[in-house]
Structure formats: C-alpha cells, structure tokens
Structure 1
Amino acid sequence: MTDGLLMQKVKEGDLSQASLLFQRYHRRIYLYLGKMAGDYHLAEDLTQNVFEKVILYRKSFELDQNFEGWVYRIAKNVFLDHTKLQNRMRKGSEEELIKAAELPDHQPSLDEAEQKLHTALAALPEQDREVLILTRFQKMKYIEVAALLGTTESNIKVKVYRAMDKLRTQYFQIESI
C-alpha cells in the first residue's frame, strides 16, 4: 500500500496504519535529524516528536501530496523549533553552538576520517548542512529536495555545490590540525 493511501487511512481515524509509516520512515528521519542536530540521542526525541505531529496534523495531509516530502517538512520544522528554543535558552558564544552541534565522542564504528567529516559537517551553516544531508546521506533527488525546501532544482544544485566546497574547506582545516 502506498504511503499516501496509508496516510489517508490514518487521516480517516485508523491510527494503526501509522505504525507502518513509522516503520518505513523512522530510520530515515532519525538519521536526518541526527545529522542536522549532531546529536543522535536528541534525534531520538525529535524523531518521536515528528511522528507525534504526523498524527496530530493528519487532517492537513492531502492525498495528492508526497508523504515523504510532507514528513521531512515536519522533521525540518521540529528541528527548527528545537533550535529556536535552544537559542533562546542559551545565548552563548558561537564556539558553544559549534560544540553543541558536534557528534558525541562515543559514536560507534566511526573511523577517524568519518569523525572528521562529521565534525566538518556540524560546523557548516544549517542550510548548507541540510542540503548535504538530504542529497548525500538521505539520497534524495535534487528535484525532491527542491520541492521540500520550496525552491528550484537548479538552485539546489548550486547550494549543494557551494556547501560541498565549504565542507571540503572545513574538512581540510580539521585535517591540518
């Protein structure tokens, strides 16, 4: 059954169908939020919030919508809401914000190069990090990312190119330390 039809059943009140959507998208949303936040423990909580909002806002889903784009939009908004709240609570220095975005040291099975890559990714501005996560880690097509972010495919290609350039610079700065 398609995601849209499952969501239509959820919208009509059959909440048991939400578990199938959760099974299909939980890992992808968790990885997306983990990379955006740089904290996989936080990503667990944020992912839970996303699926709570899927249920809460089920009436706003339209059958002709792409469920994947809709759920990623919810995930992005959950992340932005969390970030805004954190920024209000902590008016720290830029250095503290970068430290908060770094991956925890206890990440399993990351070799040194991967750790440097994740550190470089965490140091990027949020918009750059997001397009790279969606296109490179989540394997979304440029046209899908464009629809999700409300822009054109060519604009996403430019953003990815520029973000990759910044990531490369960050990575080699870390490499030289």
Structure 2
Amino acid sequence: MLCASSIPSDKRRHDQSLNAAEDRYGAEKLIDGEWIASSEVSRNINPSNTNDVVGEYARASANDARAAIAAAKAAFPAWSRSGILERHAILRKTADEILARKDELGKLLSREEGKTLAEGIGETVRAGQIFDFFAGECLRLAGEVLPSARPNIGVEITREPVGVVGIITPWNFPIAIPAWKIAPALCYGNTVVFKPA
C-alpha cells in the first residue's frame, strides 16, 4: 500500500477519507485523499494460522509512486503553512481514533503478524500515544538557543518543514513504527508518502 494524502483544510473531505478508510483493510491505495483500486493485489495470511486470510493489500506501481509524490508535493505548501492548532487537531484526532479502535486494530495486527493479542493491542496503544505526543509537540514548537564558544556569535536552532518525507517501514511493528515516523513529519509541517513493508 502506498499512501499520500494531501490533508486538506477542507475538513469535510478529510473526514470523508477517514470514514471511507474504516471499511477498508487493504486492496486499495490512498493517494491524494482518494482510494484507488489496484490492478495487482496480494493476500495477507496469518502466519500462525495459514488458513486465515486477514485481508488483501494493493501493490503499488511506479506510476502510483509518482502520483503519490506529486500529491504530497502539491499539498506541501498549504500544510507547511497550516497553523499549529490545525496540525494539533488532526494529529489529536488520529490519536483518538487509534486509541478508540485499539481492540479492533490490535486483533487485526495480531492476526497479521502472528503476535499475541496483548502484543497487538499494546502496539496499537503505543501508536495512539505517539500521535498524541506529537499532537502536543505541535503546540510546543520552539527552537533552541545555545551558547557559542565564539564571542559575539549566537547559535539558534529552528525546526522548519523540509518538504515531502518518504517513509518505508519494516513488517515487524506495522503500526508503531509508521507512527514514529509519520507523526513527527506531519507535526513539523512536512507531507508524507508512506509505503509499508
């Protein structure tokens, strides 16, 4: 699955994308806020019960990657200039959604990874906590002023968006590791193209 969503300031469109995602467990790619069918689909099999097909996932093409990158580039100017309260609200809503659905998502994760149910739910909770932490960081965006060894020279550190962040994550922690990468990227005003293992 390849995801790039321009998180629009049009909250209605953003909410529609979130609601549409609730009924999907693969088989389509999210690019520029739209679910795109894939010509190539693979099955996701539970490694601890090979008769259990957890779902299907879309395989992305080079054209899909180009479209995702283009969407993220197009979204970057508006997102990087968005206010800290807007970013906070979106990351907070993401955290709330993950935590509210921790049992459902944790069960899916457990089936997908062959982990114990407690590990699946625990990882899901951790992902929600990561989004919650970075929602708070949106409100604490600040630089640092450090002493310099040279007289009359100041050292100031600022955090500024750099652009589109490409994120490819491994299979072993499929919700926590993406959260560790996606949440800070969005918090600091970057857009994201995400490709899970």
Q: Which has the higher strand share?
A: 2
TM-score (normalised: structure 2): 0.34
Q: Which has the higher helix share?
A: 1
Task: Mark the structure with the bigger radius of gyration.
Answer: 2
TM-score (normalised: structure 1): 0.36
